[in-house]
């Protein structure tokens, strides 16, 4: 067993890393919203699911790829992937803002605690998942392969596949952009201010609704990108994938310390690797149990997650 | 807005002893007579009306009462309540098929198992802050389901079949298709649970829970042993879930991991919040509506969950405190604390 593990160590690690990077992006959706509102955005998993479908719509319906088409190459390939990524991000981002307006805004103004918005977000996610389920006749939808998935390199025994590489590099770029946005821009500063102390932020003339919308937009954009990468890597989707990945990504966010952007990064990576290793040793059916057991242990020893919480490290 | 809860409380409080007994007896009689109203507008188009009364409606009511102790009374967010339901059901399934014990003998064992797992989960989890409790309980619910799905002794995905029905007592026979008998038995269980919660609410435990819900730190400083009462709330909630599980297994004769998904936890949570957290009548009303609605609107069969989701969103936006919120007096304190 151990020998096998060592043989496959690097290929497992690469698989786990690319899964982890998808988790990071979804976890950012949760963590941004939590950092500002101190509320769990329950509909984020369905926003991710819609992102996967947006990707497939671009590849299959706009660029007319079928399962039999030849692979795109060169400029056309990058055009297709770029369009799909941007479209998925925009669809998810806008949807996320709509979710905020429908499920949260009114309740937020009424100061109605955390449970009422949670239930209305659950309602929204049911509406999203069910609409897509009805539109797709409850069937999984396959994504045509636009890109030849060749190996671009070798690291010890493990081949490095191009799609995994794209996922890792693009996620890193998106992550750096996000960090810069939160730390350097005016809107990012406003987001941090609201996260630190909403009342003081309001007194300083910050438009709270605008900041919350922006936070949902950014979270949605990240989640939408995760949808694109998921469709690229696994090449199929269905109306119920949101649930499983959503729970995993949420766990990742908690693991790193929810509300903390860097925490989402490390949490996502740790979870992706952990899941992959656990399914190697114990079989895929036990991976969720391992993940939760680790989560419970981490929270028990470090109640704020591995890297502490809050966008700003200081909590009101 | 017209406040049904205060109106009801006013009528109740203005009555003398005789009036109250009359109202209570009348209400029980109406509820007990529900199985005979199958032909009326209440009828469900697809599923058998009487079986809908048993599951989901009565079962949801029982579980919502249990979850209300945890969420409504003491303000602990539990997203894995289905775990206790599953533990009760699997206890019944295993002991019912492998041993000679009957349902009535297994009922206390199932409750004890659920309470025990409540302690196992609660003691570490309740030391954490509220949001983390939510995710840990959610994880626990999934762990229980996955263990049931993968453990050979629990039948894996086929589950456990051929679970015996309860043996007759007092000359009443429990045939598996005589739904109204089950309904009435559940009604007795529900009334017992209501009685238990109402008795506890006005005593030390109820006051401790109330203080924990409003401000845990202050409660602790005032000398309330908060941790102890949080574990108590958790374990009592678990016991009700376990009882519901035992009875559910004995009614359906067949259980599988698919019956115990996270969706059930979420639905029960929705019942509690939708009906009005903390107010037991509101919670019951919420469970009745959310249990009944998906079956009532089955004529739009494919889109019924869609409509259900829409109803949740619209309802929460219009009445965030639920249909029958808790007493005004308590609400004022909460408002003050939040502002």
The complex scores an ipTM of: 0.84
- Residues of chain A contacting residue B271, judged by C-beta atoms under 8 Å apart: none
What's the whole-number mean pLDDT along residues B29-48?
77
In 3D space, the residue among A97, A31, A22 whose CA is nearest the CA of residue A311 turns out to be A31
CB of A202 within 8 Å of any CB in chain B?
A: no
Residues from chain B that touch A123, judged by Cβ atoms under 8 A, are: 309-313, 316
In this predicted structure, the answer to whether residue A316 has a pLDDT above a threshold of 50 is no
Look at residue B330 and tell me whether its pLDDT is greater than 60.
no
By CB neighbour count within 10 A (0-12 exposed, 13-18 middle, 19+ buried), where does A169 fall?
Answer: exposed
Beta bridge partners of B160: B255
DSSP-based three-state secondary structure for B80: coil
DSSP state of B92: H
Which pLDDT band, with edges at 50, 70 and 90, does A313 fall under? very low
* Per-residue pLDDT at B228 exceeds 90: yes
* Alpha-carbon separation of residue B284 from A37, A218, B36, B38, B268 (angstroms): 30, 40, 20, 21, 11
User: Residue B249 — very low, low, confident or very high, per pLDDT cuts 50/70/90?
Assistant: very high
Residues 119-148 of A with CB under 8 A from B: 119-120, 122-127, 130-131, 134
B269 in A contact zone (CB under 8 Å): yes
Whole-number mean pLDDT of chain B? 85
Distance from CA of A12 to the nearest CA of B (A): 23
Whole-angstrom Cα distance, residue B133 to residue A3?
39
Provide the CA A185 distance to its chain's centre, in angstroms: 23
Helix axes A287-301 and B130-150, enclosed angle (nearest 10)? 150
Does position A14 have pLDDT exceeding 50, yes or no? yes
B330 interface with A at CB cutoff 8 Å: no
Q: Is the pLDDT of residue B186 over 60?
A: yes
Any chain B CB within 8 A of the CB of A296?
yes
Question: Which residues 12-71 of chain B have a CB within 8 Å of chain A?
Answer: 71
A chain contacts of residue B78, beta-carbon cutoff 8 Å: none
Q: A295 at the B interface (CB within 8 A)?
A: yes
The answer to whether residue A12 neighbours chain B at the CB level (below 8 Å) is: no
Q: How far apart are the C-alpha atoms of A260 and A304, rounded to whole Å?
A: 10
Which of A26-35, A271-280, B269-278 is the least confident region? B269-278
Size of interface A-B (CB pairs under 8 A): 115
Average confidence (pLDDT) over B178-198: 90
| Confidence category of residue B338, pLDDT binned at 50, 70, 90 | low
Q: What's the confidence (pLDDT) of residue A228? A: 95
Q: Write out chain A in H/E/C secondary structure.
A: CHHHHHHHHHHHHHHHHHHHHHHHHHHHHHHHHHHHHCCCCCCHHHHHHHHHHHHHHHHHHHCCCCCCCCCCCHHHHHHHHHHHHHHHHHHHHHHHHHHHHHHHHHHHHHCCCCHHHHHHHHHHHHHHHHHHHHHCCCCCEECCCCCCCCEEEEECCEEEEHHHHHHHHHHHHHHHHHHHHHHHCHHHHHHHHHHHCHHHHHHCCCCHHHHHHHHHHHHHHHHHHHHHHHHHHHCEECCCHHHHHHHHHHHHHHHHCCCCHHHHHHHHHHHHHHHHHHHHHHCHHHHHHHHHHHHHHHHHHCCCCCCCCCCCCCCC
> Does the pLDDT value for residue A312 go beyond 70?
no
Flag if A299 and B128 touch (Cβ within 8 Å).
Answer: yes
| Averaged pLDDT for residues A90-111 | 92
Which residues on chain B are in Cβ contact (under 8 Å) with A267?
none
Chain A residues with beta carbon closer than 8 angstroms to that of B317: 106-107, 120
For residue A251, the model assigns a pLDDT of 84
Backbone phi and psi for residue B160, each to the nearest 5 degrees, phi listed first: -115, 130
* Size (chain B), residues: 339
Alpha-carbon distance of A111 to B114, in angstroms, equals 35
Q: pLDDT-derived band of residue A309, with 50, 70 and 90 as boundaries?
A: low
CA–CA min distance A150, chain B (Å)? 36
Predicted confidence (pLDDT) at residue A8 exceeds the cutoff of 50 = yes
For residue B149, pLDDT over 70 is answered with yes
> Which range (A132-136, A212-216, A305-309, B174-178) has the least confidence?
A305-309
Chain B CB contacts of A299 under 8 Å are: 128, 132, 136
Straight-line distance from the first to the last Cα atom of chain A, in angstroms, rounded to the nearest whole number: 49
CB contact under 8 A, A118 and B273: yes
* pLDDT tens-place string over residues A138-188: 899 988 887 777 787 777 777 788 888 899 999 999 999 999 999 999 999
Question: Is residue B295 within 8 Å of residue B48, measured between CB atoms?
Answer: no
- pLDDT given for residue B31 in this prediction: 86
Tell me whether B222 touches chain A (CB under 8 Å). no
Average pLDDT over residues B281-290: 90
> HSE on the CB side for B157, CA within 13 Å?
1
- CA of A228 vs chain B CAs: smallest distance (Å): 25
Distance CA A47, CA A89 (A): 10
| Chain B residue whose CA is closest to A99 | B313
């Amino acid at each position: 067993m151990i020998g096998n593990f060592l043989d496959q160590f690097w290929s497992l690690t690469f698989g786990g890393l690319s899964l982890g990077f998808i988790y990071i992006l979804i976890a950012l959706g949760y963590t941004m919203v939590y950092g500002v509102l101190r509320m769990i955005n329950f509909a984020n998993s369905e926003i991710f699911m819609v992102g996967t479908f947006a990707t497939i719509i671009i590849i299959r319906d706009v660029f007319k790829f079928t399962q039999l088409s030849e692979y795109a190459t060169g400029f056309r390939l990058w055009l297709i992937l770029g369009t799909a990524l941007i479209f998925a991000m925009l669809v998810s981002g806008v949807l996320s803002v709509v979710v905020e307006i429908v499920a949260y805004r009114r309740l937020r103004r009424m100061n109605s605690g955390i449970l009422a918005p949670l239930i209305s977000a659950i309602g929204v996610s049911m509406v999203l998942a069910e609409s897509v389920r009805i539109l797709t006749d409850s069937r999984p939808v396959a994504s045509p392969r636009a890109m030849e998935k060749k190996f671009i390199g070798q690291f010890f025994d493990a081949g490095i596949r191009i799609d995994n590489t794209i996922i890792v590099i693009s996620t890193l770029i998106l992550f750096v952009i996000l960090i810069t946005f939160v730390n350097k821009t005016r809107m990012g500063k406003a987001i941090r201010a609201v996260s630190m102390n909403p009342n003081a932020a309001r007194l300083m003339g910050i438009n709270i609704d605008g900041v919350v919308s922006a936070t949902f937009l950014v979270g949605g954009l990240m989640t939408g990108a995760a949808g694109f990468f998921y469709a690229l890597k696994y090449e199929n989707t269905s109306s119920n994938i949101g649930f499983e990945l959503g729970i995993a990504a949420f766990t990742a966010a908690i693991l790193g310390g929810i509300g903390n952007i860097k925490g989402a990064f490390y949490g996502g990576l740790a979870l992706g690797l952990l899941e992959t290793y656990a399914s190697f040793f114990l079989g895929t059916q036990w991976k969720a149990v391992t993940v939760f057991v680790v989560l419970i242990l981490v929270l028990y020893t470090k109640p704020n997650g591995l890297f502490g919480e809050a966008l700003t490290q200081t909590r009101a | 807005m017209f406040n049904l809860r205060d109106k009801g409380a006013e009528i109740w409080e203005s009555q003398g002893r005789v009036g109250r007994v009359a109202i209570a007896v009348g209400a029980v009689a109406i509820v007990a007579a529900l199985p005979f109203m199958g032909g009326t507008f209440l009828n469900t188009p697809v599923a058998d009306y009487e079986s809908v009364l048993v599951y989901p409606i009565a079962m949801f009511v029982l579980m919502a009462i249990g979850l209300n102790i945890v969420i409504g009374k003491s303000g602990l967010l539990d997203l894995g309540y289905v775990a206790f339901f599953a533990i009760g059901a699997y206890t019944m399934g295993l002991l019912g098929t492998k041993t000679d014990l009957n349902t009535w003998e297994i009922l206390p064992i199932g409750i004890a198992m659920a309470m025990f797992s409540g302690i196992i989960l609660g003691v570490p989890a309740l030391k954490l802050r509220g949001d983390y409790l939510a995710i840990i309980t959610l994880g626990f619910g999934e762990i229980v389901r996955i263990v049931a799905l993968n453990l050979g002794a629990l039948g894996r995905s086929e589950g456990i079949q051929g679970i015996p029905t309860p043996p007759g007592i007092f000359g009443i026979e429990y045939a598996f298709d005589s739904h109204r008998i089950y309904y009435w038995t559940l009604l007795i269980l529900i009334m017992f649970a209501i009685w238990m919660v109402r008795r506890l609410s006005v005593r030390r435990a109820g006051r401790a829970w109330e203080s924990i819900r409003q401000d845990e730190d202050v409660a602790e400083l005032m000398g309330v042993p908060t941790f102890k009462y949080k574990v108590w709330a958790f374990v009592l909630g678990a016991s009700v879930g376990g009882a519901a599980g035992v009875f559910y297994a004995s009614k359906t004769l067949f259980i599988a991991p698919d019956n115990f998904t996270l969706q059930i936890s979420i639905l029960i949570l929705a019942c509690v919040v939708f009906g009005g957290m903390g107010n037991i009548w509101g919670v019951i009303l919420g469970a009745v509506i959310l249990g009944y609605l998906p079956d009532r609107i089955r004529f739009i069969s494919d889109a019924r969950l869609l409509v259900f989701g829409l109803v949740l969103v619209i309802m929460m936006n219009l009445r965030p405190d639920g249909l029958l919120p808790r007493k005004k007096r308590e609400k004022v304190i909460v408002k003050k604390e939040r502002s």
